[in-house]
């Protein structure tokens, strides 16, 4: 089952993920994510999907089906000032919604704060 | 009881807040603070309508001051304080005279923040003194590391003050992360 690691930029989610699972998360494209055991910077994948006119929420449903044991790391990007550009607002919200779907399906969700992982699911 | 729910954009805080309100019990009132200016706003409102459809909320639109909330048992859900704080700061047509406060003109940024904080505390006093439950939804906006123009910095500081104040008043508080309510304070009595 999916293991999700989230945290603010640079808080060390990929380090905790590797320590706990033995799988090293790597940055990859949306297509590569279907076959990558450890996915890093998931927020950049949602950005790529939106830039290509796709839906991050549909993508994660497909990802859960095709890569059901993935370790996924993502920066939390939804706690800043409402972005000026509509694309940035949409990216922020769509990433949040996609993470809700992943978290719902995940076996565990860990929030990393200053290098400390807090298991919230 | 007072419940405070915070979280980032798209974190699932609205859905959680509605469930909390429903479990606290009716009659249920939903105070919608968002003014509608654009198709993007309309889309957002439509999404919220759909989310709470069939749950039994009576909706009160309050795009300016939060007033006229029925004083009775049941639960009032106020969504959301981040929008409301922006309304208070930026809507030139809000008439603050009923709150009996001096004008904010020529105040320093710090005094301006205090002035608007005073307005929000004053307008919410009747809501907080009601018999029933109140659920506040807000948003976290101060964690992107940017320094903005003076007006936006006032907004950031003001909202952080409002959130901290509501956290102090709350009997129970949660931060919603990826749809998961993380308890911060107290517990729900339902």
ipTM (interface pTM): 0.92
Instruction: State which residue of chain B sits closest to A57, comparing Cα positions.
Output: B10
Chain centroid, CA B130 distance in Å: 16
Q: Which two tokens stand for residue A112?
A: 């990393």
pTM, rounded to two decimals? 0.93
Q: Which CATH architecture has domain B2-185?
A: 3-Layer(aba) Sandwich (3.40)
Q: Among B1, B3, B132, which residue's Cα sits nearest to residue B70?
A: B132
CATH of residue A38 = 3.40.50.300
Within an 8 Å CB–CB cutoff, is residue B51 touching chain A? no
Q: Can you give the residue ranges of every domain in chain B? A: 2-185
Q: Which two tokens stand for residue A35?
A: 């076959």
Q: pLDDT tens-digit profile of B122-154?
A: 999 999 999 999 999 999 999 888 999 999 999
Indicate yes or no: CB of B143 within 8 angstroms of CB of A94. no
In a domain, A121, yes or no: no
Q: Among B13, B20, B32, which residue's Cα sits nearest to residue B83?
A: B32
Q: Which domain holds residue A26?
A: 3-115
Between positions 157 and 186 of B, the ones with CB within 8 A of A are 177-180, 182
Indicate yes or no: CB of B10 within 8 angstroms of CB of A97. yes
- DSSP letter for A34, please: T
Which pLDDT belongs to residue A34? 98
Q: pLDDT tens-digit profile of B37-92?
A: 899 999 988 988 888 889 999 999 999 999 999 999 999 999 999 999 999 999 88
Task: Measure Cα distances from B11 to A104, B58, B130, B152, B169 in Å.
Answer: 12, 24, 29, 23, 23
Count of domains in chain A? 1
Which residues of chain A make contact with B142, given a CB cutoff of 8 A? 79-80
Pairing of strands B57-61, B28-32: parallel
Which residues of chain B make contact with A4, given a CB cutoff of 8 A? 178
The answer to whether the CB of A13 falls within 8 A of the CB of A73 is yes
Instruction: State which residue of chain A sits closest to B41, comparing Cα positions.
Output: A86
In a domain, A63, yes or no: yes
Q: pLDDT tens-digit profile of A22-38?
A: 999 999 999 999 999 99
Indicate yes or no: CB of A79 within 8 angstroms of CB of B179. no
Distance CA B44, CA B186 (A): 31
């Amino acid at each position: 089952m999916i293991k999700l690691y989230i945290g603010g930029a640079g808080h060390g989610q990929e380090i905790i993920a590797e320590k706990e699972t033995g799988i090293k998360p790597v940055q990859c494209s949306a297509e590569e994510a279907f076959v990558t055991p450890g996915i890093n910077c998931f927020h950049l994948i949602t950005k790529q999907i939106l830039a290509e006119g796709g839906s991050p929420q549909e993508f994660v449903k497909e990802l859960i089906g095709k890569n059901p044991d993935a370790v996924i790391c993502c920066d939390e990007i939804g706690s800043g000032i409402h972005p000026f550009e509509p694309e940035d607002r949409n990216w922020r919200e769509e990433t949040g919604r996609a993470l809700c779907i992943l978290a719902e399906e995940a076996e565990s969700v860990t929030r990393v704060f200053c290098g400390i992982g807090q298991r919230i699911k | 009881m007072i419940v405070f729910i915070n979280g980032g954009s798209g974190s699932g805080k609205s859905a959680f807040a509605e469930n909390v309100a429903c479990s606290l019990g009716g009659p249920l009132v939903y105070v919608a603070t968002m003014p509608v200016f654009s198709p993007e706003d309309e889309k957002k409102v439509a999404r919220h309508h759909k989310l709470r459809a069939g749950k039994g909320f009576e909706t009160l639109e309050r795009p300016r001051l939060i007033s006229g909330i029925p004083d009775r048992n049941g639960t009032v859900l106020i969504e959301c304080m981040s929008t409301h704080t922006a309304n208070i700061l930026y809507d030139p047509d809000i008439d603050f005279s009923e709150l009996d406060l001096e004008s904010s003109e020529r105040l320093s940024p710090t005094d301006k923040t205090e002035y608007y904080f005073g307005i929000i505390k004053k307008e919410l006093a009747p809501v907080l003194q009601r018999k029933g439950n109140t659920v506040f939804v807000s948003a976290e906006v101060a964690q992107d590391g940017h320094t903005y123009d003076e007006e936006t910095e006032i907004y950031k500081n003001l909202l952080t003050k409002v959130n901290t104040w509501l956290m102090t008043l709350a009997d129970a508080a949660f931060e919603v992360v990826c749809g998961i309510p993380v308890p911060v304070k107290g517990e729900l009595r339902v």
